[in-house]
Amino acid sequence: MSRIEILDDPHPIEHAERARCSSGDDQMEIQEDCPRIKSTEFPDPEKQESLESECIPDPMDAEQTWPTEEELAEAVAKRKITKLVPRGTSEYQAAWIPDEDGVSLGEGSEDESEDVSMEEARSEVDSTKDLEDDEEYETITISESGVDGERYDRDIDVLEENQAMEKFKEAKLDAQFPDEVDTPGGVLAKVRFQKYRGLESFRTSPWDVKENLPTDYARIIEFADYNRRRKRIYKEIEDIEGVTPGQYVKIYIARVQKEVFKTFATGTQPLIVVGLLEFERKMSLLNVLLKHSNSTAQPIKSKERLIFQCGFRRFVASPIFSQHTNGTKHKYERYFHPDSTVVASMYAPVTFSPCPILCYVENQDGKLELIATGSVLSSDSQQSRPETSRSERPSI
């Protein structure tokens, strides 16, 4: 954006301004043709956000030496544990209490008490209900002449139908046996699960969130303290200067492609201009809390292509589903079942909470179908959610 001109509104909303403009018809016609410029606002180059949405990774950043014993001891000393102890217990006495019920907290957790907690975010959607075993039925009318085979082959794709039936079968098995995994025939269990890591305790075993990160993590933005940054940005916009809501303005946008200009110049839809907060142009790891709307019967698999409406922005992503629980590790969900609440993690533009989310799936005819609603939990790769697959025993 190069500049903004604040003009006299030819059609003011306020009664006093409308009476002043209607005092002279000739003056009104002149204002409509060429409104008077009140002032001009120019952006500050030092404060103007860059249009780059991703970071340029450095291949040499992947080189890292093994941490020393002093660094490991310092990391353990910074780790904090919360315990349920009798009233009046000192810190020295609490250190001798077994930490089986303790929950590990990261650095900067003192500021998180003032922020939107997981329990508050959970209250924005209904609590998870138990899956019903009864299947839904509907009444249909069929012809007594039987099935036309040629019409069936013409209207139905057999391969696509088989894939849909297999998907329904897998979703039903996942709902009935969420902690069991079938080993494919002809494959040894030790080979099938060799990339998985065994945990002594799903809740208390340590897990380094920065270990074996994908290369795409080098391209997204990271916040040293997401909650503190979010509060600072919301505090700064209270004292915003420049153009205020309700003013009649003319916006000049630089470096617009000809194809984009022709699309809006010849189209009938209006051009909507939305202001973004700081860093909301960048890409990061977005965690959103979703509640299934029960409006569709088709199973929603993890990593499936979905469409998200986040405020004025709409984007396509293939999220990973996990349970919405307390702690530092969360169980990976293979399917988004009806009457369930999950956390969807994906690469998406930075969005500061609170912000509502609408989730759609695109049908074969191109129409969008609403499948879930929810809100933003966080938008920070530093607070990533290690998603593990809990399995009691593989089924051979």
Give the tens place of pLDDT for each residue, 286-325: 999 999 988 777 888 999 999 999 888 899 999 999 988 8
97-106 mean pLDDT? 48
Please state which architecture CATH assigns to domain 217-242+275-378: Beta Barrel (2.40)
The predicted structure's pLDDT at residue 307:
94
- pLDDT category at 60 given cuts 50, 70, 90 is low
For residues 396 and 394, give the distance between their C-alpha atoms in angstroms, rounded to a whole number: 6
120-125 mean pLDDT? 47
The predicted structure's pLDDT at residue 156:
58
The predicted structure's pLDDT at residue 64:
56
CA dihedral of residues 314, 317, 323, 325 (deg, nearest 10): -50
360-386 mean pLDDT? 82
- The structural domains of the chain, with segments of one domain joined by +, span 217-242+275-378
* pLDDT greater than 90 at residue 149: no
344-352 mean pLDDT? 90
Residues in the chain: 396
For 326-342, letters b (16+ CB in 10 Å) and e give: eebbbebbbbbbbebbb
- pLDDT category at 193 given cuts 50, 70, 90 is confident
189-217 mean pLDDT? 79
Q: Which range, of 37-46, 96-105, 358-367, averages the lowest pLDDT?
A: 96-105
The predicted structure's pLDDT at residue 372:
92
Q: Which residue has better confidence, 144 or 266? A: 266
How high is the mean pLDDT of the chain? 74
160-184 mean pLDDT? 79
* pLDDT greater than 60 at residue 112: no
